[in-house]
Structure 1
Amino acid sequence: MRPSTETELAEIVLGAAGPLFIRGGGTRAIGRTAGDPLETAGLAGVRLYEPGALTLVAGAGTPLAEIEAMLAGEGQRLPFEVPDMRGLLGRDGVSTLGGMVAANASGPRRIQAGACRDSLIGVRFVDGAGQVVKNGGRVMKNVTGYDLVKLLAGSHGTLGVLSEVSFKLLPMPERTVTLALPDLAPARAVEAMAMALGSPFDVSGAAHWPGRGTFLRIEGFEASVRYRTARLRALLARFGEAGEVDDPWAEIRDVAPFHAKAGDVWRLSLKPSDAPAVAERAGGAALFDWGGGLLWVLCEAGTDLRGRIGPFAGHATLVRGTPPVATFQPEPLPLAAIAASLRARFDPRGLFNPGLMA
């Protein structure tokens, strides 16, 4: 099923006799779920683009590449540096705005600009009763009751089927510089990244790629970038000489070190200071992003990584692989009860990607 209008989408949901597998472009879905495929790629097209207001409204099925090309033509971008998961997951297909929002897909710039949900200012979606729901708008504002804009981002299609999304945008920077420190031990690298991120020099990327280096990014106006780069170099002198390098951020964003490598891939969100010890317990290969707050781990197929590393302050998501464990971190009972209540409220018949996040 591939509706081309919001009305058709609502009719399909209203008439559904069983579970639906919600699919955008099929490039970043994780986990397993049952149901008849419901594709949102037909809900495409830019509804509103106001470069002067840094605002975009588009159908959920709009290809991400089209949007990025259009914004680049106006010297603008989505703030949160969207990862391309096709190489990591071995997928073809075309990434869509709705799939991006459903996964809350956010790259290295999240530490400065926030996640996808932080730039999302409005949504339209169809709930499990076949009703069209709208929340938010073309400007950021407070709302009463549910903040559905934040709820839908990262819900992986379990609360409703997105039909339209609205974003605030940012201008492209005039200059970008990436500094690389010599390859450091993970604990030392996290210390260096914490110092850089805690500085007044507005670092927009901080990642450690074992065997290759520790990378720090500064963006903005030419004169400002030149000044901040020199000051950051001096601040980090104790960690070694920081030299300018070619842009590694697309590879870090897309977890390129693990492409075409055998094994399971896990994504851990945790305290940056805990990342080196957790990576050591995990074994295998690791990639540190967000100053250490995001840890990617490649390990043997079938590994129960949560059992191997033990309790930690954070959560681990199985992004690639099929061991006999839940894709998403099991939630504490009070939080699980709230999540179940939300799913019952927005999808009372249990139609949307059943069991995926339960």
Structure 2
Amino acid sequence: MKKMMLKPRTETELAEMIAGATGPLAFCGGGTRGFDVAGEALTTSGLSGVELYEPGALTMVARAGTPVAEIEALLAENGQRLAFEPMDHRGLLATEGVPTIGGVFAANISGPRRIQVGAARDFLLGVRFVDGTGQVVKNGGRVMKNVTGYDLVKLMSGAHGTLGALSEVSFKVLPMPEVAATVVVQEFGLEVAVQVMSAALGSPFDVTGAAYDPAERSAYVRIEGFAGSVDYRVGRLVTDLARFGAVLQVDDSESLWRGICDVGAFHGSAGDVWRISVKPSDAVELAEQVQAEALQFDWGGGLIWALVPAGTDLRARMTVPGHATLMRAGAETRERLGQFQPEPAPLAEISAELRAKFDPRGILNAGLMG
């Protein structure tokens, strides 16, 4: 008979479950990422609810299992948003579940706007989490002026639950812009696209998105802000980028950038999906090396999504410096290649020491990150 998933309702219950664990635990948050980790499943989705929201101070405190949609709805009522634009993985990974704010910060999930505002971890002010011994740890604060424990707060964002289970996060939010518009430059290849995106990002026009779709042979540059300012900046960009090709403006850009953020072009397509981070100047060479069936470029060419035949060892094809994360694949491929880019020996040693400190029994998402 299949065991029930552990689902604590309070931080105390979470601590008791981890302290009393007799074997590995596999954290799944809201269940949208599809990680295949050995151990008894534990979801933090029961730790839900916004505990503090101060629109005037641009800060929020929420339990880790609070649905992202609930947070975004509350922020929208007050003309605010999660500026780092977290991705929804469900369409790409063919998973269900509900994205949670704890999962967003645990995986440092950041969308197209990262090039302008920074990553999810840059908005994290404080955390509460339970380490591998069952001890509750608090670090950071609930307001932007409190930066106590800054390094540990950053450390938890992107650790994927290997150092502890987040129970509460405090973070800053930003106002929602009045309008958004997208400049589209059409009919050219990747090499020119990188030039287009670099020119846009190097301009003084405060670009909040720069992406390229090879299937459409189009680069997309997003501008956000007050209406008058957006009109002026878009007009200047249209003029400046016209030297690269045909240029047009898309005013209703929300659905376009949602598709870029969630890699909508790959939804329902067979094959493995890789997420690759490189210098934008290496994007053209990287694209030639991976020989993918389909590609999508974000962050001015620094973030590349690749769709390849099942079982492909994409890392073996790469010679340019970068990181390749296996986002979607069968169990055998995940076991053979590993989810994350192997770390250089000195960094791997530091990572192992950190895990030993926070999880001395080695029970938290064991093997996920090394």
User: What band does the TM-score fall into relative to the shorter chain?
Assistant: over 0.9
1:169 aligned residue: 173
2:3 aligned residue: none
1:207 aligned residue: 211
1:29 CA drift (Å): 4.2
2:243 aligned residue: 238
| Pairing 1:299–2:308 present | yes
2:21 aligned residue: 16
| Pairing 1:332–2:336 present | no
1:167 CA drift (Å): 1.0
For residue 218 of structure 1, the aligned residue among 201, 217, 223 is 223
| Pairing 1:251–2:259 present | yes
Q: 1:173 to 1:328 in 2, by over 3 A?
A: same
Taking the TM superposition and a 5 Å limit, the aligned residue runs for 1:309-328 are 309=318, 311-322=319-330, 323=333, 324-328=336-340
| Pairing 1:345–2:357 present | yes
1:102 aligned residue: 106
1:185 aligned residue: 189
RMSD (CA atoms): 1.2
For residue 119 of structure 1, the aligned residue among 114, 119, 123 is 123
Q: 1:148 to 1:218 in 2, by over 3 A?
A: same
The secondary structure found in structure 2 opposite 1:130 is coil
State the Cα deviation string for residues 282-329 of structure 1 (Å, max 9, x = none).
Answer: 1121100000010000000000001122x3221000000132212100
For 1:26 and 1:45, locate their aligned partners in 2 and report how far apart those are by CA, in whole Å.
18
2:143 aligned residue: 139
Q: TM-score, normalised by structure 2?
A: 0.94
For 1:334 and 1:351, locate their aligned partners in 2 and report how far apart those are by CA, in whole Å.
23
2:297 aligned residue: 288
Q: Could you list the runs of 5+ residues in structure 2 that have no partner in the other structure?
A: 1-5
For 2:187 and 2:59, locate their aligned partners in 1 and report how far apart those are by CA, in whole Å.
40
Bigger CA drift: 253-262 or 143-152?
143-152
1:266 aligned residue: 274
For 2:160 and 2:147, locate their aligned partners in 1 and report how far apart those are by CA, in whole Å.
23
1:140 CA drift (Å): 3.3
1:143 CA drift (Å): 5.2
For 2:298 and 2:202, locate their aligned partners in 1 and report how far apart those are by CA, in whole Å.
15
For 1:267 and 1:232, locate their aligned partners in 2 and report how far apart those are by CA, in whole Å.
29
Q: Could you list the runs of 5+ residues in structure 1 that have no partner in the other structure?
A: none
State the Cα deviation string for residues 121-149 of structure 1 (Å, max 9, x = none).
Answer: 11100001111111111223575777121
Q: Which amino acid aligns with 1:294?
A: L
State the Cα deviation string for residues 231-267 of structure 1 (Å, max 9, x = none).
Answer: 1112112112321124210000000111110100000
Q: 1:146 to 1:127 in 2, by over 3 A?
A: farther
Bigger CA drift: 48-57 or 232-241?
232-241
Identity percentage over the alignment? 63
The secondary structure found in structure 2 opposite 1:34 is coil
| Pairing 1:25–2:37 present | no
Q: TM-score, normalised by structure 1?
A: 0.97
Following TM superposition, the consecutive aligned residue runs of length 4 or more in structure 1 with deviations greater than 3 angstroms are 140-146
2:286 aligned residue: 278
Q: Which amino acid aligns with 1:231?
A: R
Number of aligned residues: 356
